[in-house]
Amino acid sequence: MVIVVIGDEILSGHTVDSNSPWLVQRLVRSGHRVSRIVVIPDDVDEIASTLRQLLDQKTDTVFIMGGIGPTHDDVTFEGVARGLGVELSYSPKAASLMYQYLSLRNPDLDRDTIDTDPGVIKMATIPECAEPLINREGSAPALEIVRNGSTLFVLPGVPREFKHVLDSEILDKRLPECRDAQVFVDLPVSATERSMMDLLKTCSDNHPDVKLGSYPQPDRVVILRLSGCKEAVDDCLEELKSRLLDAFGKSVMVTSR
């Protein structure tokens, strides 16, 4: 799985990408593996070339977020269409979903007004192979595209809309939890990384199916983070605690933070 973040505002530092960390956490805990997060500008050629590269690499699932809207700089749909080698086409279904959202906020809104609105027309003009997904938190349509063994999810970048579409339309429904869903355990330790080097390597070598990382914190505390299937993590944690107690005594364990 690869996440593609589209936005000049991300690359300029004006906006912080909060969507990717949230999505990665949800995916990993469901047993999925994210191999890369790519940030690219609002540029049609850049979007197209990035997508072509991912499809050539047989990437199973691609999340593309941002750049969906009514203004001239919202070019994600055009870039995706070019990358797939398909045309853009007006989607009555996408327009209908947008009308459902907008009419809830303005009951007097006429459907004919929606069908002739330039902003709606732009957002409802999508890659011809795309299936619109319901977005109950905004007017920007989300898309699902299945192409040559790859599944693409094209999502709005507004965090509220992004998370809603993922929760209601994609996670569980279109990406069910894998059998090897991972668990994560954090163990705060009052010691330095250097003093635990050999101990951590030994535990890691003894439990190759567990990822064991160390993350220094303020006040001379190191978070030891274990991830993997529950049984393997439990075994590794038991050995890790035993070795820490033998090396440093009970005082090394931090029970609260």
Percent of the chain with pLDDT over 70: 97
DSSP 168: I
Q: Are 142 and 129 in contact (CB under 8 A)?
A: no
Rounded distance between C-alpha atoms, residue 155 and residue 143, angstroms: 7
**Fold (CATH) for 183-252:** Ribosomal Protein S8; Chain: A, domain 1 (3.30.1370)
Give the pTM: 0.78
Q: Where are the domains of the chain?
A: 2-170, 183-252
Fold match flag (2-170 vs 183-252): no
> Phi-psi bin for 33: left (phi > 0), alpha (psi -120 to 50), beta?
beta
Pairwise pLDDT comparison (170 vs 177), residue with the higher score: 170
**pLDDT in the model for residue 180:** 65
Confidence of residue 184 (pLDDT cuts 50, 70, 90): confident
CATH number of the 2-170 domain: 3.40.980.10
- Of 20-34, 61-75, 127-141, 167-181, the poorest mean pLDDT is in 167-181
- Does an H or E element contain 132, and which? strand 131-133
In a 3-state reduction of DSSP, which class is residue 234? helix
Q: Are 150 and 134 in contact (CB under 8 A)?
A: no
